[in-house]
Structure 1
Amino acid sequence: MLEFWYSDKCSRQLKLMVCIATCVIIYLCSTVQPLSAVFTGISVGIGMAVHGLRALNLKIAVDNPYKKGFAILILIMPLMALISLMSVLPAQHKLMLAIQAIGFAAIGLFLLSGFPKRRFD
Structure 2
Amino acid sequence: MLDFWYSARCTRQIKLMICITTCAVIYYASTFAKLDRIYIGISLAIGMLSHVLHTVALKLPKQNSYKEGFTRLNLFIPLIALITLIGVLPQQHKIALGVQYVGFSMLGLFIVSIYANRAKRFED
TM range (shorter): over 0.9
* 1:56 matched residue in structure 2: 56
Cα distance in 1, alignment partners of residues 84 and 73 from structure 2: 16
List structure 1 segments (4+ residues) > 4 angstroms apart after TM superposition.
Answer: none
Alpha-carbon distance, 1:120 to partner: 4.6
* 1:76 matched residue in structure 2: 76
Unmatched 5+ residue regions in structure 1? none
- TM-score normalised by L of structure 1: 0.96
Alpha-carbon distance, 1:14 to partner: 0.4
* 1:19 matched residue in structure 2: 19
Cα distance in 2, alignment partners of residues 89 and 112 from structure 1: 25
* 1:37 matched residue in structure 2: 37
Cα distance in 1, alignment partners of residues 111 and 18 from structure 2: 12
CA contact (8 A) 2:30 2:96 kept: yes
Amino acid in the other structure paired with 1:72: R
Identity percentage of aligned residues: 49
SS for the counterpart of 1:22 is: helix
Name the Cα RMSD after superposition: 0.9
Unmatched 5+ residue regions in structure 2? none
Q: How many residues align?
A: 121
Deviations 1:45-86 (A, max 9, x none): 000000000111122121012211221111111000000110
CA contact (8 A) 2:56 2:70 kept: no
- TM-score normalised by L of structure 2: 0.94
